[in-house]
Amino acid sequence: MPASFPQYVAEAITGPLPDPPGVKLKKEGLTAKHPVVFVPGIVTGGLELWEGHQCADGLFRKRLWGGTFGEVYKRPLCWVEHMSLDNETGLDPPGIRVRPVSGLVAADYFAPGYFVWAVLIANLARIGYEEKTMYMAAMIGEYHFRTLRDQTLSRIKSNIELMVATNGGRKVVVIPHSMGVLYFLHFMKWVEAPAPMGGGGGTDWCAKHIKAVMNIGGPFLGVPKAVSGFFSNEARDIAAARAYAPGFLDKDVFGLQTLQHLMRMTRTWDSTMSMIPKGGDTIWGGLDWSPEGIYNCGAKKPKNNSTHTAIPNGKGASSFTEGVNYGRIISFGKDVAELHSSKIERIDFRDAVNFKNAANNCDIWTEYQEMDVGHIKAVVNYKVYTAGSVLDLLHFVAPKLMKREGAHFSHGIADDLDDPKYEHYKYWSNPLETRLPNAPEMEIYSMYGVGIPTERAYVYKLASTTECSIPFQIDTSATGGIEKLCLKDGVFSVNGDETVPVLSAGFMCAKGWRGKTRFNPSGIRTYIRE
């Protein structure tokens, strides 16, 4: 039942309810001990307006993200304008300041009746936690981690130090969620790195101040969903909506071209680039192999993974049986997704020349209005993209976006972590290109959902040319098989929590950080809870 229902109402409908976790812990004699720090992700933190343009009159300190959204519904174009960042710098546009809501209320509820952290906070309160022992590290989740406004990284450092000092020297337990997981990875490197690039806390800061990091739904190695978001501003839900109501999202809805305006906004949110898949083909698979194996959409069970053997350099020795290969994150056509690579004729899109003859006339900035027809067709003619080549694809279709990405994030695998280049902050949120702190007594948990179909790869098509169109769409006519973990509405699914595949959520704690490794030289203990 919704948490907002009084207990007596819920019990009248469902019968007696079991004790909440906080009540059970209190009966067991547990009380508040380690201070708790919450690190929300991009979706769950509230944002409010501090300075805006004329269209935002009356919205001072009103929530633009999280909350009732009542005023936003009345002026959607104004909302897009104020939620967008500068497409050159990734910072505040002139005359606009949007800042995080402070305190626990920043992320307790995303909207009325839709709790985020509220139930966890309430259960902790039952065993004695209160405001002085809980801290919400609210941030503007859209900024790239380096240039967060209001010295957010320094504020987190100071607040953790204060909580440790005022709670008998007890170290904090940090609970990051979703993209906040990557943000806190960045923080742990920043806080120990020398100034001015880092926080100057010294190489033992984490060992002195952090008891455990309990990551919830962490996209450690990125999510394929980020690729479809940047490429066509779609995901499974948008594709399904298109399938049920063809053309609806391509028309002016409430006086605006919905997806184009949303793409204009989200292509300025630099932090989301941290969730582009990391590790390339070595982690996510190549043209003819994937770590999940090969899947036959028409079969009741996946084909035996013995048809492919992954070896350390990420290349496979495979007797390829045609079927779904999840390593192909984008395929133009269902047949392309299933054929052996030797049967696919491809033309390298990187050789195409853009003559700047725009394919459509559009005053909504998406970068697609700067591509000509030949440029667009070159993308389609390459036919299939793996985790390695999607970076080149995004550089090709969104050069401004990816110029900022290259300055602030990296998605590779380190050959030699002693190389001085890895001291740069762009590597700090990639667990494959950085080391965990030297804190052998610290603990790291990965807690994530399983058993829910989760986006892994996509079948695309060239969109019908209309004025101001996004030229590529998920092909919702591509559906196959009776298994839920397969192809539906142009989206291939695997096991995960609906957003993050198990591969991304679990690999680092199960393998990359398990024991003493080059990514975890002090042997921090790792745990998985699925």
Is there a single domain that holds both residue 462 and residue 353? Answer: yes
- Please give the pLDDT value at position 314: 38
Which residues are paired to 491 by β-bridges?
458, 488
Q: Which 3 state secondary structure label does DSSP give 50?
A: strand
Is there a single domain that holds both residue 9 and residue 149? Answer: yes
- Please give the pLDDT value at position 465: 65
Is there a single domain that holds both residue 187 and residue 281? Answer: no
420 prior amide bond cis, ω within 30: no
Segments in 166-256 forming alpha helices (H): 179-192, 205-209, 224-232, 236-244
Domain residues for 41?
4-46+101-216
Nearest C-alpha neighbor of 202 from the set 211, 186, 190, 185: 190
- Please give the pLDDT value at position 146: 61
Check if the beta carbon of residue 327 is closer than 8 Å to that of residue 227. no
Is 303 part of a structural domain of the chain? Answer: no
Is there a single domain that holds both residue 353 and residue 273? Answer: yes
Check if the beta carbon of residue 32 is closer than 8 Å to that of residue 25. no
Rounded to whole angstroms, the Cα distance separating 213 from 342 reads: 45
- Please give the pLDDT value at position 92: 84
Is 331 part of a structural domain of the chain? Answer: yes
Give the Å distances, CA to CA, from 414 to 387, 427, 432, 505.
16, 9, 6, 20
Rounded to whole angstroms, the Cα distance separating 239 from 253 reads: 17
Residue 393 backbone dihedrals phi, psi, to 5 degrees:
-60, -45
Rounded to whole angstroms, the Cα distance separating 299 from 286 reads: 23
Rounded to whole angstroms, the Cα distance separating 459 from 493 reads: 12
Task: Give the end of a domain, one of 167, 186, 216.
Answer: 216
Name the pTM for this structure: 0.85
Nearest C-alpha neighbor of 406 from the set 386, 392, 420, 389: 392
Task: Give the end of a domain, one of 180, 199, 216.
Answer: 216
- E strands along 101-199, which residues? 109-111, 114-115, 134-136, 172-176
Is 432 part of a structural domain of the chain? Answer: no
Is 156 part of a structural domain of the chain? Answer: yes
Nearest C-alpha neighbor of 290 from the set 495, 519, 529: 495
Place of tokens 């996509």: 458
Rounded to whole angstroms, the Cα distance separating 180 from 175 reads: 9
Is there a single domain that holds both residue 209 and residue 148? Answer: yes
Is there a single domain that holds both residue 170 and residue 256? Answer: no
Can you count the helices (H) and strands (E) in the chain? Answer: 17, 23
Rounded to whole angstroms, the Cα distance separating 340 from 342 reads: 5
Is there a single domain that holds both residue 178 and residue 242? Answer: no
pLDDT < 50 regions, the chain? 148-149, 252-255, 299-321, 484
Is 34 part of a structural domain of the chain? Answer: yes
Is 198 part of a structural domain of the chain? Answer: yes
Is there a single domain that holds both residue 145 and residue 269? Answer: no
Q: Can you give the CATH number for the domain in which 26 is found?
A: 3.40.50.1820
- For residue 325, the surrounding DSSP H or E stretch is strand 324-325
Torsion of CA 414, 416, 418, 424, to 10 degrees: -30
Nearest C-alpha neighbor of 332 from the set 459, 227, 224: 459
Q: Work out the angle at residue 73's Cα, subtended by the Cα atoms of residues 69 and 79, and round it to the nearest 5 degrees.
A: 80
Is there a single domain that holds both residue 186 and residue 235? Answer: no
Cβ atoms within 10 Å of 8's Cβ, excluding its own: 7
Is there a single domain that holds both residue 162 and residue 285? Answer: no
Token pair for residue 152? 């957010």
Is there a single domain that holds both residue 386 and residue 468? Answer: yes
- Please give the pLDDT value at position 528: 96
Is there a single domain that holds both residue 332 and residue 385? Answer: yes
Counting the structural domains of the chain, the total is 2
Task: Give the end of a domain, one of 189, 216, 243.
Answer: 216
Is 117 part of a structural domain of the chain? Answer: yes
The number of CA neighbours under 13 Å toward the Cβ of 433 is 25
Torsion of CA 494, 496, 499, 505, to 10 degrees: -120
- E strands along 40-143, which residues? 47-51, 63-65, 97-100, 109-111, 114-115, 134-136
- For residue 308, the surrounding DSSP H or E stretch is strand 308-310
Q: For 229-251, b where at least 16 C-beta lie within 10 A, e where not — what string? A: bbbbbbbbebbbebbeeeeebbe
CA 107 to chain centre: 17
Give every CB contact of residue 327 below 8 A, 6+ residues apart in sequence. Answer: 281, 284, 285, 286, 287, 288, 289, 290, 386, 387, 457
- For residue 462, the surrounding DSSP H or E stretch is strand 452-462
pLDDT, tens digit (0-9, with 9 covering 90-100), for 287-341: 999 998 876 655 444 444 433 333 333 343 333 445 678 999 999 998 898 888 8
